[in-house]
Copies of this chain bind each other. A is one copy, B any other.
């Protein structure tokens, strides 16, 4: 009886890559991880499935609609939709076993059943770092974060990018000084300025503020420009007598000064008073990161300072500061933007050993000695014409092929073919190793 074939496919909104793309993706992920570790962040790995009562403790809003939630036995389960809620639960649960300030990183998949649309993913990688204080956390931590963003995006190969920084207290203090009641609504509107444009924002603000004069003042404020010292000076000159504003301005000034001390050039980190961030739990410093050559991608790394990480799981006050890179979306956008993924890295393999006849023994032993030299080696074991064997190396972009026939075996030689230039030489095994190592530098 013939089996029924199910057409192989995956669900819409899920990213899956071919191996050569996966190598490029993994390189980015490894680079991010290495940077996080270099700054002393510790790894954690929380379950993908958690109790719904934990993940939805805060409840409400878009989250609840997007979450993958289901029952198994008596359990009400959900897939994590970010790495922040699991972090809050984790820190609360193990608080007595952790050392504070707790610097943790987590890289993993999260799940959101969003409406299906181009460039939005239902399963995607987040790469998060957070520094959590027990009771309090020095503001200078907020200045170290941009140096990690800077180091990471440099290592990812980007030359031109801007970390945009602001402070919620500066915004909220200013709104207070204008007598605005619903500050969080104004924040949300401001946050959309880059996306929706100034006219739409003015209109929305007018609905909230009911005073054209105030709207003008807000627009004027968030558009204060210049160098970082100039913006700080301009804010000072406003002479706003509001405690929150003054506190925010002091924080922002200190953070900007220390960002420089931590080695981030001015051109890569700019105060931008339009940055507000949507999430309502940020309370101080906020960050966004823009690739200067691809502003359309939007922020590729965002975050900020919060007063209390885990209020739903513990009475302990846990202030923190953190950032997140949405790697799946970033990778997708870089592909869409035509930033070429090098097809030459279709494999990690450095040498393919090709036996010219049935004598695979000598090939196996040659593989052993190359692997002992930390050269990534494969043996082509299938019966096939030489042209097919070489095509395998070509398709996968393997730089070296070693041909082994009777002559090579009899004389203890290897024929080394550099696939990139087509050149080939008969060499002793030691010479071949040296040649390959030099050629791979």
Contact B93 A40 (CB under 8 A): no
Contact A396 B53 (CB under 8 A): no
Docked pose: A122 CA to B77 CA in angstroms: 13
Contact A94 B6 (CB under 8 A): no
Q: List the B side residues contacting A151 at CB < 8 Å.
A: 371
Q: From residue A269, how far is it (CB to closest CB) to chain B in Å?
A: 14
Partner of A11, one of B37, B77, B349: B77
A3-44 Cβ-contact flags toward B at 8 Å (1 or 0) = 111111111001111110011011000000000011110111
Q: Which of A198-206, A222-230, A377-385 contacts B (4 or more CB under 8 A)?
A: A377-385
Q: Please give me the residue from chain B that is nearest to A360 by CB atom.
A: B140
A243 at the interface (CB under 8 A from B): no
Docked pose: A11 CA to B71 CA in angstroms: 13
Q: List the B side residues contacting A90 at CB < 8 Å.
A: 8, 16
Contact B49 A123 (CB under 8 A): yes
Q: From residue A310, how far is it (CB to closest CB) to chain B in Å?
A: 8
A283 at the interface (CB under 8 A from B): no
A434 at the interface (CB under 8 A from B): no
Q: From residue A322, how far is it (CB to closest CB) to chain B in Å?
A: 15
Q: List the B side residues contacting A367 at CB < 8 Å.
A: 262
Q: How many residues of A contact B (CB 8 A)?
A: 103
Q: Which of A131-139, A209-217, A294-302 contacts B (4 or more CB under 8 A)?
A: A131-139
A261-290 Cβ-contact flags toward B at 8 Å (1 or 0) = 111000000000000000000000000000
Q: List the B side residues contacting A22 at CB < 8 Å.
A: 42-45
Q: List the B side residues contacting A8 at CB < 8 Å.
A: 54, 89-90, 92-93, 310, 313-314
Q: From residue A270, how far is it (CB to closest CB) to chain B in Å?
A: 20
Contact B57 A43 (CB under 8 A): no
Q: List the B side residues contacting A312 at CB < 8 Å.
A: 3-6
Q: From residue A381, how far is it (CB to closest CB) to chain B in Å?
A: 4
CB contacts under 8 Å to B, within A362-415, are 364-365, 367-368, 371, 374, 376-379, 381-383, 392, 395-396
Q: List the B side residues contacting A418 at CB < 8 Å.
A: none
Contact B14 A261 (CB under 8 A): no
Partner of A9, one of B10, B54, B137, B379: B54
A347 at the interface (CB under 8 A from B): yes
A64 at the interface (CB under 8 A from B): no
Known interface pairs A11-B50, A45-B16, A113-B73. Does A39 touch B378 (Cβ–Cβ under 8 Å)? yes
Among A68, A311, A346, the one with the most B-chain Cβ atoms within 10 Å of its Cβ is A68
A141 at the interface (CB under 8 A from B): yes
Q: List the B side residues contacting A92 at CB < 8 Å.
A: 8
Q: From residue A314, how far is it (CB to closest CB) to chain B in Å?
A: 7
Q: List the B side residues contacting A137 at CB < 8 Å.
A: 382
Partner of A49, one of B11, B26, B147, B261: B11
Q: From residue A66, how far is it (CB to closest CB) to chain B in Å?
A: 10
Contact A376 B54 (CB under 8 A): no
Q: List the B side residues contacting A71 at CB < 8 Å.
A: 70
Known: A8-B90, A39-B377, A40-B348. 17 other contacts (CB 8 A): A5-B314, A6-B313, A8-B92, A8-B310, A16-B44, A19-B98, A39-B378, A40-B376, A40-B377, A40-B378, A68-B70, A72-B113, A99-B392, A99-B395, A136-B382, A147-B368, A261-B361
